[in-house]
């Protein structure tokens, strides 16, 4: 989140030494701390996979939820 706000090509260690990036990181961290969380139990693996993709699209979280295989 902070990387998108500030935009950089540094390693994590290098980035955290930059005051502007450290501030953006702290702000993103506070945003996550303030977030609400909900859990939905989905036992069917296929249904879970489709629900994750649906949520990523509906909540516009595609920047943080990628579905690339490793």
Structural domain boundaries in the chain = 1-36, 38-70
Closest CA to 16 of 25, 8, 7: 25
Is residue 60 classed as helix, strand or coil in its secondary structure? Answer: coil
In terms of Cβ atoms closer than 10 Å to its own Cβ (0-12, 13-18, 19+), residue 21 is buried
Region at 38 (left for phi over 0; alpha for psi -120 to 50; beta for the rest)? beta
Q: Token digits for 52?
A: 């994750």
Task: Give residue 17's pLDDT.
Answer: 85
Tell me: pLDDT of 55 over 80.
yes
Q: Report the chain's C-alpha Rg in angstroms.
A: 16
pLDDT above 80 (res 53): yes
Bigger pLDDT: 11 vs 4 = 11
């Amino acid at each position: 989140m902070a990387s998108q706000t500030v935009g950089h090509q540094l390693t994590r260690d290098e980035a955290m030494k930059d005051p502007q990036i450290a501030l953006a990181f702290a702000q993103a961290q506070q945003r996550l701390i303030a977030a609400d969380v909900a859990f939905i139990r989905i036992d069917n693996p296929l249904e879970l996979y489709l629900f994750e993709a649906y949520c990523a699209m509906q909540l516009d979280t595609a920047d943080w939820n990628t579905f690339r295989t490793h």
